[in-house]
Amino acid sequence: MPHCSPAGPTMPSQFVYSDQDFVTDLRQSSGNSRGMASKPAKFDTTIKTGWTDRMDRGLFRYDLGDLQTRILPGPHRYVAQLNIQRGTQRRKPQEILSIQQEFNAKQFNFNKVNPEEIICEMVKDSEGGNGSCRMIVLVNVSPLEFGHCLFVPDPSHCLPQILTMFIIQVGIESVLLSSDPGFRVGFNSLGAFASVNHLHMHGYYLDHELKIESAPVKPLVPGQGFYRLLDFPGGFLFYTESESVEKVSRAICKVTDRLVASNIAHNLFMTRGCPPCDRIQNEEDCLSRKGVRIAVWPRLSTFGAKEESAFNVALCELAGHLPFKNKQDFEQATEKDVIDITQRYLLPDAEFQTLEKQLTGHLMDS
């Protein structure tokens, strides 16, 4: 495993947590307001305070401000936001030629960030825990929403942008640590609009309900939390509650490892959500947000493809959150426009069905 210079000489403050810190009493209000636990979790206080401090100190490429937002009419309830500055002022994406591209220390990586951008180091306090696994949380200096941060496993290990079980598990645990149902975590593989080939996930707050939180699913291997999304951009869904995080993280990693081996680009999105339909017993379950839904979208690669003028199709767009690059598209786009753009990046139906059979068999045999 290659090693690089650490990100700056100073050690970040530690955020120490355990399974006892998971918030399991969240629910979605039956009205328009979002459900919240009785008090902010210490995870949210750490992220929000640290992020706001860095914004106040001018460490970002632009001042995010209050983003203009509208809900597109239609059953998908897409959340559209106008974020022109992210489209024009973010760092130029690296040239990516392969989903399995090796890490290149000469290109930008997270060992080169300003150490002041680091919010904390996440450390799990657990018996049998791997003390060598460090998770650095730093601000994304080109934010798409409030609290937009990056989760980077020990940057000095110089891992390429390929999911590991460790980062998947910490991503799920981060959602469980938050008492805000609007906290989301996601991943773009190489070829799926990842702009930096250094392993990382995105985390941010979006104070709007997304349909993916309650979208219907078809059970595939429910014993491992594996389902297919219905009535949504074609993809797969995992579901876990706090007691099954490690088991489901392992299953997700088996799926994404298979996608990488098959050179299939993919996006992943984690959010609080209600249990899959085969586990819902009553109306209260429909409002529950004690578990985490993890969507995985296999997709066509975008190597050398011209970017869309309205929005790129990556982790948040597939989940129903649309950061628009220009005012005209933001004001005029319809749900049909969004679906038409999104479909251009998804696998053809026949290819998706073949992949579903392969992945289902792979998980059933493991």
Active site residues: 200
Q: In what order do the strands lie in the sheet with 69-71?
A: 69-71, 79-82, 321-324
Q: Strands (DSSP E) along the chain, which ranges? A: 14-17, 69-71, 79-82, 118-124, 135-139, 149-153, 183-188, 201-205, 217-221, 226-229, 236-240, 265-273, 291-299, 321-324
**Structure token pair of residue 13:** 């403050």
In angstroms, rounded to a whole number, what is the distance separating the alpha carbons of residues 247 and 94?
A: 34
Return the residue matching tokens 């994304």: 140
CA 150 from centre of chain: 10
In angstroms, rounded to a whole number, what is the distance separating the alpha carbons of residues 224 and 219?
A: 10
Phi then psi for residue 231, to 5 deg, are 55, 45
In angstroms, rounded to a whole number, what is the distance separating the alpha carbons of residues 94 and 89?
A: 15
Tally the C-alpha atoms within 13 A of residue 81's C-alpha that lie toward its C-beta. 22
Q: Are strands 183-188 and 201-205 parallel, antiparallel or unpaired?
A: antiparallel
In angstroms, rounded to a whole number, what is the distance separating the alpha carbons of residues 234 and 255?
A: 15
Return the residue matching tokens 């011209």: 306
> What does the DSSP assignment read for 28-97?
--SSSSPP--SS--HHHHHHHHHHHHHHHTT-SSS---S--EEEPSSTT--EEEE-HHHHHHSPPPPP--
Give whole-number Cα distances, 47 to 14, 19, 194, 275, 300, in Å: 12, 18, 23, 27, 33
Apex 173 CA angle, 53 and 356, nearest 5: 125
Cβ atoms of residues 43 and 178 within 8 Å: yes
In angstroms, rounded to a whole number, what is the distance separating the alpha carbons of residues 50 and 35?
A: 23
